[in-house]
Structures are given as C-alpha cells and as structure tokens.
Amino acid sequence: MFKTVHIKAREVGLLFKRGDFAGLLPPGEHTLFAPPAILRSWLGEVRVDVEPADEVELTHPRLREIVDAGVLDGWAEVLDLADRERALVWTDGRFHRILGPGLHVLFTCFRKVRVERIEARDGRFEHPQLPAIARSRGASGALDVCRVEKETAGVLYLDGRFVEVLPPGLYAFWNGAAKAEVVTVAARETVLDVSGQELLTADNVTVRLNVTAAVKVTDPRRAVLVAEGADRAIYRAVQLALRAAVGSRTLETLLADRDAVAEEVAAAAADRAGEVGARVTAVGVRDVILPGDMRALMNRVTEARKAAEANLITRREETAAARSQANTARLLADNPALMRLRELETLERIAERGELKVFVGDGETVGRKVLDLM
C-alpha cells in the first residue's frame, strides 16, 4: 500500500491526491501511501507528475490550481500577463524566450532567471539586444521582424497610419498589437531604361528611341504615398516628354542634336519627379534607330553629300593652284632675271638625272655648233 517515488536532481514532483493538487516534492526519495486498486475508489488515487525544473518554464494542464495553492514561493516566479503585456525571459545571462499573455510559472530554484515585463501597446518593439531576441526560439510567433537593407529606406505604417521613415537596420513589431507594414524604397540612384519607343517626327518619319534616365528618391514617404511607384510615374513622364520632344523636330534636327532632346525631356520629367518625391539627375538618348528603307536613303544622302563636299574641295584646290600659277607667270614676265634663274634651276634638276650638254651663245653660233655635232 506504499510506493517510493524518486525525484532526480533538477526535477520537481507535483503531488495529486484524490484528484486535487497536494503539493510539491523536491528531489530525493519519497514514500507515498498508494491504496490498492480495490480501495482506490474509496481512499482516492495518489499520482505524482514529475516536471523538469531545468527547463525553466512549468507547463501543466492544471497550472492555475498549482499557482492558487501557494506552494511555489522560493521555487518559481509566477507571471500573469494581460493582453497588452509581454515578458522577456533571460536564463543564466542568455536570452531564453518571449512570453505572451496568460499565466506562466518560471522555476528559479536551479537556474538564474531574470524577467522583463514590457507593454506592447504601441505595436513596435525596441530593445538593445534585439538581434539576439529575434533569433531566439519562438520569436517568430511573438514578433514580426523585418530588416531594412543598406541603401534603402523603410516607410513604416501601423494600422494604415504613417509613423516614420526607418533608416537601414533591424526592426520588430508585436504580433496582434497592431498591423505593421514596412515599405522599402531604394535610397540610391537608379537607372530607368525607356527602350523601344516608336515615335513620329515632325516630317512624318517613324523612329525608335532608347533613352536612359537616372533617378534618385529624395522623399521616401511621398514616393510611397503619392504614386503606386516613383519609378513607374517617372517612366511614364519620360515617355510623354520624349513623344513631345520628338514630335516637334524633323529627323535631321533630331539626329543633329540629341543632347537638346535629352535636356528637354529631363526638364519636362523633373516636375513629375518632384511630385512623387524623387529627382531626375540625368537623361540621355542612347540610340536612334531608323527603319531599313530610311537607313538606306539616309546612307545615299550622306554619300551624295560627302561626294559633293569632296568635289567642292577639289575645285577649290584647283582654283587656288591656277591662281598661284597666274601670279607666278606675272612675276616672271615682269622680272627677266628671275625668269633666267628659274631656267637655270630647271637645268640643274635635269642635270641631276643624266648627261646634259649646254651651249651658251647667240642663236646663230648655237645653231652652227649643233650642225657640226650632227
């Protein structure tokens, strides 16, 4: 009619008699009166539930009855948390877990336990050791954790109401306290490719343009609040501005000055960018693509223009050469001695190439000399 119960070190026994909680059993040997089955219905059943006190938290279906018995003093700390309360539990200097609303019993007899009670009314959870808490067991059930990456900004809304703009870092919000939403916006400069835009010039020529625009968000809240997306709004603004700029120019003007088109598009898109909390830092026309037949026609026009330019340069050089020769002839006619020097220079150049016989004298003497040689 007696049985021995052994409670190991770092364990606690919960004693129940006749279905009611009767007390705690510390580690050691305990002899209990246990009536046989034939007398159990009359004398009542004796039961011992052994709980590992080293696990810190006591979980039992009849926890309220155990707490009300008042036998936990010196053994455990009792927490009864309201709906808007949370508790952070630290054991032996390390974070253990987050406790939500309800009744909790924490054994303090075997380990060093520290408890922080926190109000979760504003929805956001801030703590110096947030990274360790966010990595702990069960944190995902109590906290909604998000990270704002570098080169971005986070726009925080609680229950649909704007709160603040968050810089890069780790943030946590209590589940159930408020609906938290963090919309991230790129804070660094981004490049929009407005490609394949088929437009009509003022002289009814269809061209395809590829344009790039550099955009930087200056007001993250406005970028999220005003438009579905700042990039999309600026993309449409660049499209419309490009259509207006190309439609007011002929093909020749467009090809001659792309920078003017880019400046006009940038100025037109700047107003829309300011409305959505961004700034257009640069716009460039990357490509102007013509249809196949138009390219062939432009190549022929360019070829004809270059040929005309080459012919003009040739005629200009010939005219200059003729003018130089005429000036030289007049100079020689006015200066016989200069003409004689030119003849001697010519003879000198001929003599350098082969044998040369020169006869000097009047015409009659030179003629007889030539006949004698023949």
Collect all residues with Cβ–Cβ distance below 8 Å to 10 and sequence separation of at least 6. 27, 52, 53, 54, 110
* pLDDT tens, position by position, 9-68: 888 999 888 778 988 889 898 887 666 654 455 445 778 889 988 888 998 899 999 999
CA dist 16 and 62 (Å) reads: 11
Q: What integer pLDDT is reported at residue 65 of this predicted model?
A: 92
pLDDT of res. 43: 47
- Please identify every stretch of the chain with a pLDDT value under 50, giving residue numbers as ranges: 38-39, 42-43, 366-374
CA angle at 196 for the pair 193 and 197, rounded to the nearest 5° = 100
Task: List the domain boundaries for the chain.
Answer: 1-114, 120-188, 190-290, 291-334, 347-374
List Cβ neighbours of 261 (8 Å cut-off, separation of 6 or more).
242, 245, 246, 249, 254, 285
pTM, full prediction = 0.64
Q: Which residues contact 131 (CB under 8 A, 6 or more apart)?
A: 170
- Tell me the three-class secondary structure of 7-39, residue by residue: ECCCEEEEEEECCEEEEEECCEEEEEECCCHHH
SS3 141: helix
Annotate 271-306 with three-state secondary structure: HHHHHCCEEEEEEEEEEEECCHHHHHHHHHHHHHHH
The amino acid sitting at 164 is E
**3-class DSSP state of 133:** helix
Backbone angles phi, psi at 354, to 5 degrees: 180, -165
Residue in 31, 154, 56 with CA at minimum distance from that of residue 110:
56
Q: What is the CATH number of domain 190-290?
A: 3.30.479.30
What per-residue string of b and e applies to 51-79 under the rule 16 or more CB within 10 Å gives b?
bebeebbbeeeeeeebbeeebbeebbbeb
Longest dimension (CA), the chain: 176
**What digits encode the pLDDT tens for the residues 269-291?**
888 888 888 888 889 888 887 76
Q: State the residue for tokens 């830092």.
A: 281
pLDDT of residue 296: 57
